């Protein structure tokens, strides 16, 4: 059950979560996740248009975490602190991921379709990291604090840091290399000119 997995993730990852009752009452990132699960069910399963957005506004007011009802979140998401987190409509988060405060999983404009990041299982995203566009972050990858990833995929089992982000560790070995560009499907939107902030290459391969 996803809700129970979320609670277990807090108990497993947060040394301050000393008692389950305290966690249930006081761990507001957990509240944000659970409100989102309700909002997503109403949005995706029942197609209710307004109530899910109102729930997301309530969660943002209560927790400082903004998650669009359309975002898909797997089991056992752990959000530490959480204030300032933004998760866009088409974002997807796998099982056992960790997000710290001020993380953004955002889009790049007003285009329709898939426009937010996908995090595979076990991904760790550090404080203040910004991930933009329909990128894919591979399993167990780690994104360093304040890193910026724009339209570049992140391979599995690697550590990426910096602005723009670069791979500094891959499969446990120290390396220094660029991130691979995101491969966009033919129906996808073009990348806005001048938006890479120095990250290259851009556009459809």
Q: Return the pLDDT at 198.
A: 33
- Facing residues of 78 across strands? 98
**70/189 Cα distance (integer angstroms):** 20
The string of pLDDT tens digits covering residues 165-204 is 999 999 989 999 999 998 876 544 444 443 333 333 333 3
Element (H, E) at 149: strand 148-150
Q: Return the pLDDT at 196.
A: 37
| CB distance 100 to 125 below 8 Å | yes
Which segments in the chain show pLDDT lower than 70? 1, 185-205
Q: Return the pLDDT at 185.
A: 61
- For each of the domains in the chain, give its residue range(s) and CATH number, in order of start: 2-178 (2.160.10.10)
**Count of Cβ atoms closer than 10 Å to residue 169 Cβ:** 15
Q: Return the pLDDT at 186.
A: 52
| CB distance 94 to 27 below 8 Å | no
Q: Return the pLDDT at 97.
A: 98
């Amino acid at each position: 059950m996803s809700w129970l997995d979320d609670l277990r993730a807090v108990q497993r990852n947060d040394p301050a979560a000393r008692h389950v009752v305290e966690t249930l009452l006081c761990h507001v990132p957990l509240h944000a996740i659970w409100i989102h699960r309700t909002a997503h069910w109403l949005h995706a399963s029942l197609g209710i248009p307004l109530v899910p957005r109102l729930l997301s506004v309530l969660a943002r007011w209560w927790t400082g975490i903004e998650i669009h009802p359309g975002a898909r979140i797997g089991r056992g998401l752990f959000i530490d602190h959480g204030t300032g987190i933004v998760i866009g409509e088409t974002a997807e988060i796998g099982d056992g991921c960790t997000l710290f405060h001020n993380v953004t999983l955002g889009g790049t404009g007003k285009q329709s379709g898939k426009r937010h990041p996908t995090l595979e299982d076990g991904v760790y995203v550090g404080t203040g990291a910004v991930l933009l566009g329909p990128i894919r972050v591979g399993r167990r990858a780690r994104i360093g604090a304040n890193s910026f990833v724009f339209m570049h995929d992140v391979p599995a089992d690697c550590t990426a840091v910096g602005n723009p982000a670069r791979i500094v560790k891959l499969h446990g070995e120290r390396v220094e290399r660029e991130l691979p560009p995101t491969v966009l499907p033919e129906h996808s939107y073009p990348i806005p000119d001048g938006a890479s902030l120095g990250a290259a290459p851009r556009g459809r391969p």
